Amino acid sequence: MTTAAFLGLGAMGYPMASHLTRLGETLVWNRTPGRAEQHAAEFGSRAVTLEETAQADVIFTCLPTSDDVEGLLDRLLPLLKPGTIWVDCTSGRPAAGREQAQRLQQAGAAFLDAPVSGGPTGAKAGTLAVMVGGETEVLERARPLIESFGGTVLRVGPVGTGFAVKAVNNVLMAVHLWATAEGFASLQQQGVDLDAALSVINASSGRSFSSENKFPKILKREFAPFFKLSLLAKDAGIALENVQEVRGSAPLLAQTAMLLRAAQASQSEDADHAELVKFVEAMFGHGTL
Ligand code: NDP
């Protein structure tokens, strides 16, 4: 039977790892150990030391950045069994994924970049979209485990391409969110009924995932912690890095990445990504930057 390990039980990793327990033994590790113990008590996983996770056949990571993954890889690489598959669900950097895949290959292990979309709600429901970069044969071996939390699991190309697609997805989401925030800040100053405006836009051609799912809550000033603004700013930065790598010119994406960085600097460390609207509102003179 396949043993899986999940490293990083944050807003995404905690619910994602819960689905693996249905398929077999699931080892869990978290930097702050209490969270792993809580997971074990809630879902029947087994909280272990970092070193013990090297015994797993498939190791999942879901950490803030590729650098954080690198830190764990440095410690685990000498302990891995040949044939191990490392599935990184972090929204990471393609170049880092390619380097990590090479290091793993030298140790007889394989790497898939498998970032996800759908937020903590999709993770809990097991309906995440998973964009996978790596060898088809490696994906097919890991697929049953990935499908335990993924409703859509698609290979998009060789190692690194999953991360590249995820960065584009998130910068697109940011463009929509930011543009909608600017539009609504301008409507607010024209005495428009904003709830009515949102309803009619959501029945019109300017609607988006952000206007349909985020803005009803934003208009109620609800900013539940869901997906950190710092993580969205990181993702837009990765999208920009990828544009530079191919020597392209993407002024709209570049501007969005820079605006997100400014918005992030103006908010608390744990601010949700929807809180970028506060920065946009301040640009219109509602409140302070
Ligand atoms: P969280 O901040 O909620 O969780 C981060 C996790 O990583 C925690 O378990 C934390 O441990 C651990 N961690 C942080 N730094 C290190 C480190 N240096 N070494 C070891 N462990 C570390 O993040 P999310 O779960 O929201 O996001 C994780 C990844 O998934 C990110 O790349 C994000 O961009 C992506 N993502 C997030 C989505 C969302 O809606 N939240 C949606 C899709 C993708 P500790 O408990 O000790 O702090």
For residue range 8-40, what is the model confidence (pLDDT) as tens digits? 999 999 999 999 999 999 999 999 999 999 999
Distance 195 CA to ligand 1 centre (A): 33
Whole-number pLDDT of residue 227? 96
- Assign 146 a pLDDT band (cuts: 50, 70, 90): very high
Residue range 149-178: average pLDDT? 98
Contacts of 27 (CB under 8 A, 6+ apart): 3, 4, 5, 6, 45, 46, 48, 52, 53, 55, 56
- Assign 157 a pLDDT band (cuts: 50, 70, 90): very high
Q: What is the pLDDT of residues 245-261, one digit of tens each?
A: 999 999 999 999 999 99
Does pTM surpass 0.90?
Answer: yes
**Residue 184, phi then psi, degrees to nearest 5:** -75, -35
Distance 75 CA to ligand 1 centre (A): 19
Q: Are both 4-157 and 164-283 of the same fold?
A: no
Q: How many CB atoms lie within 10 A of CB 142?
A: 23
The CATH classification of domain 164-283, taken from the options 3.40.50.10490, 3.40.50.2300, 3.30.930.10, 1.10.1040.10 = 1.10.1040.10
Domain residue ranges of the chain, discontinuous segments joined by +? 4-157, 164-283
Distance 10 CA to ligand 1 centre (A): 5
- Assign 288 a pLDDT band (cuts: 50, 70, 90): very low
Buried b (16+ CB within 10 A) or exposed e, 17-36: bbbbbeeebbbbbbeeeebb
Contacts of 259 (CB under 8 A, 6+ apart): 178, 276
Q: What is the pLDDT of residues 215-237, one digit of tens each?
A: 999 999 999 999 999 999 999 99
Q: Which atom of ligand 1 is nearest to the CA of 89?
A: 30
Q: Which atom of ligand 1 is nearest to the CA of 35?
A: 46
State the DSSP code for 267: S
Q: What is the pLDDT of residues 177-216, one digit of tens each?
A: 999 999 999 999 898 999 999 999 999 999 999 999 999 9
Distance 230 CA to ligand 1 centre (A): 11
The protein residue with its alpha carbon nearest to ligand 1, atom 46, reads: 32
Please give the helix or strand (H or E) that residue 93 lies within, else none: none
Residues with CB under 6 A from ligand 1: 8-13, 30-32, 35, 62-64, 68, 71, 90-91, 116-117, 119-120, 226-227, 231
Decide if pLDDT at 287 tops 80: no
Whole-number pLDDT of residue 42? 98
268 close to 279: Cβ distance less than 8 angstroms: no
278 labelled catalytic: no
| Ligand 1 pocket, mutate which of 231, 269, 272 (most atoms under 8 A from CB) | 231
Classify the complex by whether its ipTM is higher than 0.95, answering yes or no.
yes
Residue range 51-80: average pLDDT? 98
Distance 12 CA to ligand 1 centre (A): 7
The protein residue with its alpha carbon nearest to ligand 1, atom 43, reads: 117
The protein residue with its alpha carbon nearest to ligand 1, atom 21, reads: 31
Q: What is the pLDDT of residues 92-119, one digit of tens each?
A: 999 999 999 999 999 999 999 999 999 9
Q: What is the pLDDT of residues 120-143, one digit of tens each?
A: 999 999 999 999 999 999 999 999
Query: Reduced to 3 states, what is the DSSP secondary structure of residue 107?
Result: coil
Find out if CATH 3.40.50.720 is the number for domain 4-157.
Answer: yes
Q: Which atom of ligand 1 is nearest to the CA of 32?
A: 47
